[in-house]
Amino acid sequence: MPAGSDIRALIVDDQQTIRSLVRAGLKDIGIHNIEDAVDGEDALRVLLSARINLIISDFNMPKLDGLGLLRAVRMTPQLKSTGFIMLTGRADTELVQRAQQFGVNNYLVKPFTVATLRAKIEEVYGAIT
Amino acid sequence: MDPMEEIKATFFQECDELLADLESGLLEMEAGATDPETVNAVFRAVHSVKGGAGAFGLDTLVRFAHVFETTLDAVRNQTLEADAAVVRVMLRSADRLSDHITAAKAGEDLGEEGDQALIQELQAFLGDVEDDTAGDDMPDFGFKPMLISLGDDPAPLELAPVANGPWEIILRPQAALYRNGNDPAVLLRELAMLGQTTVTLDDSGVPDLNDLDAQGAYLCWTVSMPGTVEEDRIREVFEFADFDCDLTIRRSAGEGANEIVEAPLPVLAVEEAPAVPEPLADAPVEGEAFSLDAILAMARDAAAATELTGDVPAPQADVSDVSQAPAPQGSAVEASPPASAPPRAASEASTGSSATPTQQTIRVDLDRVDRLIDLVGELVINQAMLAQKVLEEGAAPSGSVALGLDDLEQLTREIQDSVMAIRAQPVKSVFQRMPRLVREVAGMTGKSVRLVTEGENTEVDKTVIERLSDPLTHMIRNAIDHGLETPEQRREAGKPEEGTIRLAALHRSGRIVIEISDDGKGIDRTRVKAIAVERGLIDADATLTDEEIDNLIFAPGFSTASTISDISGRGVGMDVVKRSIQALGGRITITSTPGKGSLFTLSLPLTLAVLDGMVVTVGDQTLVVPITVIVETLQPKASDIRGLGPEGTVLAVRGSHVPMVDVGQALKFPSQGNARAGVTLLVESELGGLIALRVDAIQGQRQVVIKSLEQNYRQVSGIAAATILGDGRVALILDVDGLVATRRPAVAPQQPLAQAS
């Protein structure tokens, strides 16, 4: 049962609005170690310099999209066991299936409530105390 | 502020950018762009608007955006061709989306009725594709979240551990090195100064004495140095020698650790689609080095593979691809000098060279920038005061203090320019609003119009940009409504049915020039003149040049529309446009050719914070006259100045008479001696007419920082603002039009055209 303070999250989205929303949600849950990145490339840069154990990433981003980021993370030994939750628009079944094949831990459909965000993280890490 | 409200504000701000991206992307598509990048950018814009809107419960907007997005998705998947008809509907949809956002900003909801027609048009393109808007949640397809325990905390990654092994430097001089006067001993000594060196000499290349060329080069040195020495420092040593020698600089730790980046990238032992990330890699981690470049290259490869094929690619095939991915350039340490950039720089370079380099930006509160501009203004003034003081105290102009002050002045100027540049923005933000306006006005008037924009990236101060929007809007409306003919008229005149409006921006001698031209019928001078007579602006028998007639459209209350249309007219005429341009320190001129069209030219200052001024003396006061209004300065003979009426004075300038204003009198300064002496500035006033301003003396020309008089004191007629001079005194900046207006009864310059009769 992890505490919120055990989780160090990285939010990846090209949209400031979504980054802010996820950040606000995470804080509500008690996760305060949060980094931001604006696309997959940016995210990798952060991942290589900060100790992150949970990535919450959008799918459609310029430069390197969420799927590309997921694959890069899973292919890099030091990063491979980082939790990865993909943000998607509604009903994007195909995308989630692809992400699943590449080893995504969970998905989160936009728009989401704090309760859903919490549930999706807990499905990966167990209940957060 | 409530955090949610704050995020919402961010969202709306972001929406403005997204809408601009959307429109420009669609316009590119209209012009024929079909590349996936453009289409995807358009898709992403709508998708992002939708995504954010959902979080704030803007349901109407989300539903509309969803339909729009679905159609765009079809274009993206190449199941729908983005032909002219499709793009046209999309442009209208973008307008509608923009309307939704504007309404949402104001806390309103446009309702869905207005969307129906567009939704039907958008869906019609899709044919029988089922509408999936109904499903709010993802259908159950058996997704099982994967548990992770935090105990598997990934080890922190060391960035580029390659950079730590000891150096091995192999130096094999060529004969040229000795010929050019270099000495390997000196190079080795310099290396030794950087850190502990171990030097081995390889003399196996030295031939028998008989074969030895006295000027040949046969020796080779191998130097080992600690890895802590920076590579750049080592390269520096060989700066002047490395063309004349074979030089190898590399890390020599372990088994060629320097080549680690070139070694195959970590290969995943993926057999099947992985169920859990754990079994993925048995790749050797020990001593393994990662560079961002390598991972990015791999990631890009993966991204390309997943993006291009519709199906999920077989992981196996992909992995083999990845392992063959070429190592990124520049990360290998053993390389010729130009490629020896440090890893960080290399990674940045590679980022910069990716398909669409996005510039890094930060959002800064405008207040902070303005505060900075204010402070820099103070700095400029302070510097000028200091310089003047130093001269007054008798310091030698070539002394070190004076020279230091010169440098300071240079620096202050540069800071000022840089700070001004922060506020500068491309006119794009205004230009981007015009295509929609053109579409709307064209629709209302039943005319066919093409808008051509040029110089969108021309930069000008943000305030100028903001205040340009209204005049430009009005002028473009006018150009379409009054300037362009109907398609039938155009056909009869032998022109293409589609009229062209051209909007261009360019920099010209420290100002920004904006041109709005149309290829319409030009100004109907007979009608303009008739209306001017009817309105009492000119006498019926007045003889006017074409230029004077054209300029009548700027006269207050003038409107040539025979019916007040929805689009232009309504009493807001070109006079208002002209006044708002002048309020920005700008000028507007018109040239028109009957049957060919009209061209309006706006000339505006790049910034409103500084002004080029002529510093003049009036009585015991120092005043500043904006350079832009001054046409000419002259020293008139007393005989050229003639009285006109009880108070008026005119000045004879090359055969014509110009109303004259004594600045001292107009501002009610105590009278100083001979009113007829002094210097006269010929200035251009509101209606383009000339006015002669009499001042006592001209001190010089200088750039001054504008300080609002209104904010610090109150508005004074005839005075535009104030500034602080080098000696610390406050000088007033003259408002020429205001000054003339206060003197109007005496000089009546307002209607020079009427006087011409």
pLDDT tens sequence across B335-383: 334 433 344 433 433 333 334 445 567 777 878 888 888 788 788 878 8
Mean per-residue pLDDT, B381-393: 81
Q: How far apart are CA B593 and CA B613, in angstroms?
A: 35
- Is the CB of residue B702 less than 8 Å from the CB of residue B623? no
What pLDDT score was predicted for residue B674?
Answer: 59
Q: What is the mean pLDDT of chain B?
A: 75
Does B138 sit within 8 Å of A79, measured CB to CB?
A: no
Q: What is the number of other CB atoms lying within 10 angstroms of the CB of residue B328?
A: 22
Mean per-residue pLDDT, B52-68: 88
What pLDDT score was predicted for residue B344?
Answer: 41
What pLDDT score was predicted for residue B299?
Answer: 67
Q: How far apart are CA B166 and CA B249, in angstroms?
A: 11
Which residue of B273, B290, B303 is in closest CB contact with A68? B303
From the options 1.10.3720.10, 1.20.120.160, 3.40.640.10, 2.60.120.260, give the CATH code of B3-126: 1.20.120.160
Instruction: Tell which B residues from 326 to 365 touch A, by Cβ distance under 8 Å.
Output: 351, 354-356, 358
How far A60 CA lies from chain B's nearest CA (Å)? 7
Q: Is B549 exposed, middle or buried (0-12, 13-18, 19+ CB in 10 A)?
A: buried
What pLDDT score was predicted for residue A55?
Answer: 94
Q: How far apart are CA A73 and CA A129, in angstroms?
A: 27
How far B86 CA lies from chain A's nearest CA (Å)? 23
Q: How far apart are CA B423 and CA B367, in angstroms?
A: 11
| B6 in A contact zone (CB under 8 Å) | yes
In a mutational test of the B interface, the residue from A56, A81, A122 whose CB has the highest number of chain B CBs within 10 Å is A81
In a mutational test of the A interface, the residue from B138, B331, B348 whose CB has the highest number of chain A CBs within 10 Å is B138
| A26 in B contact zone (CB under 8 Å) | no
Q: What residues of chain B lie within 8 A of the CB of A83, using their CB?
A: 148
What pLDDT score was predicted for residue B584?
Answer: 79
Helix (H, G, I), strand (E, B) or coil at A35: strand
Which residue of B14, B152, B306 is in closest CB contact with A16? B14
Q: Which residue type is seen at B406?
A: D
- Is the CB of residue B429 less than 8 Å from the CB of residue B465? yes
| B39 in A contact zone (CB under 8 Å) | no
| A93 in B contact zone (CB under 8 Å) | yes
What pLDDT band is residue B255 in, cutting at 50, 70 and 90?
Answer: very low
What pLDDT score was predicted for residue B139?
Answer: 54
The CA dihedral of B493, B494, B500, B504, to the nearest 10 degrees, is -90
- Strand arrangement of the beta sheet that strand B719-724 belongs to: B697-705, B610-618, B621-626, B730-734, B719-724
In a mutational test of the A interface, the residue from B296, B309, B321 whose CB has the highest number of chain A CBs within 10 Å is B296
Output the pTM of the full model: 0.50
Asked whether residue B282 carries a pLDDT value surpassing 50, the answer given is no
Q: How far apart are CA B299 and CA A44, in angstroms?
A: 9
* Nearest residue to B684 via CA among B637, B591, B752, B731: B752
Mean per-residue pLDDT, B573-599: 83
> Hey, what domains does chain A have and what are their CATH numbers?
4-122 (3.40.50.2300)
Residues 6+ positions from B655 with CB-CB distance below 8 Å: none
Which residue on chain B is closest to A50 by alpha carbon?
A: B156
Helix (H, G, I), strand (E, B) or coil at B661: strand
* Nearest residue to B560 via CA among B527, B593, B591, B538: B527
Asked whether residue B725 carries a pLDDT value surpassing 70, the answer given is yes
- Residue B92 structure tokens: 């209208």
Q: What is the number of other CB atoms lying within 10 angstroms of the CB of residue B278?
A: 13
Residues 6+ positions from B649 with CB-CB distance below 8 Å: B641, B642, B643, B659, B660, B662, B747
Helix axes A16-29, B36-55, angle to 10 degrees: 40
Q: How far apart are CA A128 and CA B313, in angstroms?
A: 36
| B68 in A contact zone (CB under 8 Å) | no
Does A92 sit within 8 Å of B292, measured CB to CB?
A: no
What pLDDT score was predicted for residue B564?
Answer: 44
Q: How far apart are CA A82 and CA A97, in angstroms?
A: 19
What CATH architecture does domain B161-259 belong to? 2-Layer Sandwich (3.30)
What percent of chain B lies above the pLDDT cut of 90? 6
Lowest-confidence segment of A70-74, B2-6, B613-617 by average pLDDT = B2-6
Residue ranges per structural domain of chain B: 3-126, 161-259, 366-425, 427-605, 610-755
Asked whether residue B390 carries a pLDDT value surpassing 70, the answer given is yes
CATH code for B427-605? Answer: 3.30.565.10
**A117 or B737, greater pLDDT:** A117
Does A2 sit within 8 Å of B274, measured CB to CB?
A: no
Q: How far apart are CA B222 and CA A21, in angstroms?
A: 59
From the options 3.40.50.2000, 2.40.100.10, 2.40.50.180, 2.40.50.140, give the CATH code of B610-755: 2.40.50.180
Q: Give the DSSP H or E segment for B695.
A: strand B690-695
Helix axes A66-75, A40-49, angle to 10 degrees: 30
B285-310 confidence digits (pLDDT tens): 333 445 777 777 766 665 555 544 44
